[in-house]
C-alpha cells in the first residue's frame, strides 16, 4: 500500500533523501540480511544485556534480521524480526513536519519523540523526549541513542546503538540489508 505519510512530513526536504529511501517510505517493503550485534564490556555490557532483553534483542554475534515497513491508518509500521523469532512492531506517528515536528514511536511501554536530521542523503534519528508507561523521563538519565539509515551500494545500511557517558557502548546492532522482491503471480 503506497502512502504519502512520510513524504508529507518531510515536505520539500523529502527530495534530499536517497531515492531508495524515498521509495521504501512511500511503498513500504521488506529488507533482510545479516547483522552484527555487540555488547559493551564490564558494567556497560551488563546494562546493555538488560536493555536488550527489554527490546527483544538476541545474544551478541551475527543474526538474520528481517524488517517489514508498511503503512496503516495509525501510522508507519516497522516490524523487526531476529532469526525468525517473534516480530517486534514499532508504530511511528507523525506530528507536524520536519521543520517543527517529530515522530512518536511506540514500542510496548516506551514512547519516544524523535526528529530526523538528513545527512548525506541518509535519515538520522534524534531523540527529543522519552516516556515510559506515560511518565516523561529526563533524557540525561537514559542511554544516548544513535540510529540512522542510509543507502550504500544499493543496500540499506543501518545502525542502532545505545551508550552512557563514561561507560561507553552498552549495545549496538548494525548491518547491510537487501530489499526483498515481491513475488509476482
Q: CATH 2.30.30.830: does it fit domain 5-179?
A: no
pLDDT in tens, 49-98: 998 887 778 899 999 999 999 988 888 999 999 998 888 888 999 999 99
Q: What is the pTM of this model?
A: 0.87
Confidence of residue 44 (pLDDT cuts 50, 70, 90): very high
d(CA 168, CA 85): 29
CA-nearest of 124, 168, 126, 123 to 143 is 168
Q: What is the mean pLDDT of residues 121-137?
A: 92
User: Taking the chain, what is the end-to-end CA distance rounded to the nearest angstrom?
Assistant: 17
- For residue 143, the tally of other CB atoms under 10 A from its CB is 20
Written as nine digits, the cell of 144 is: 544516548
Whole-number Å distance between alpha carbons of 158 and 129: 22
Q: Are 63 and 35 in contact (CB under 8 A)?
A: yes
Where are the domains positioned within the chain?
5-179
pLDDT(108) > 80: no
For residue 184, the model assigns a pLDDT of: 44
Amino acid at each position: 500500500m503506497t502512502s504519502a505519510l512520510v513524504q508529507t512530513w518531510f515536505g520539500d526536504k523529502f527530495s534530499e533523501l536517497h531515492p531508495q529511501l524515498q521509495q521504501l517510505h512511500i511503498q513500504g517493503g521488506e529488507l533482510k540480511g545479516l547483522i552484527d550485534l555487540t555488547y559493551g564490556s564490564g558494567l556497560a555490557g551488563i546494562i546493555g544485556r538488560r536493555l536488550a532483553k527489554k527490546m527483544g534483542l538476541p545474544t551478541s554475534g551475527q543474526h538474520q534480521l528481517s524488517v517489514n515497513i508498511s503503512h496503516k491508518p495509525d501510522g508507519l509500521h516497522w516490524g523487526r524480526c531476529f532469526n525468525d523469532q517473534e516480530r517486534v512492531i514499532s508504530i511511528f506517528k507523525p506530528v507536524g513536519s520536519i521543520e517543527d515536528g517529530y515522530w512518536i514511536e511506540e514500542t510496548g511501554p516506551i514512547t519516544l519523540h524523535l526528529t530526523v536530521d538528513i545527512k548525506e542523503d541518509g535519515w538520522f534519528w534524534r531523540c527529543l523526549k522519552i516516556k515510559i508507561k506515560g511518565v516523561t523521563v529526563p533524557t540525561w538519565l537514559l542511554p544516548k541513542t544513535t540510529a540512522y539509515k542510509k543507502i550504500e551500494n544499493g543496500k540499506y545500511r543501518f545502525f542502532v546503538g545505545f551508550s552512557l557517558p563514561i561507560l561507553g557502548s552498552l549495545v549496538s546492532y548494525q548491518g547491510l540489508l537487501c530489499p526483498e522482491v515481491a513475488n509476482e503471480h
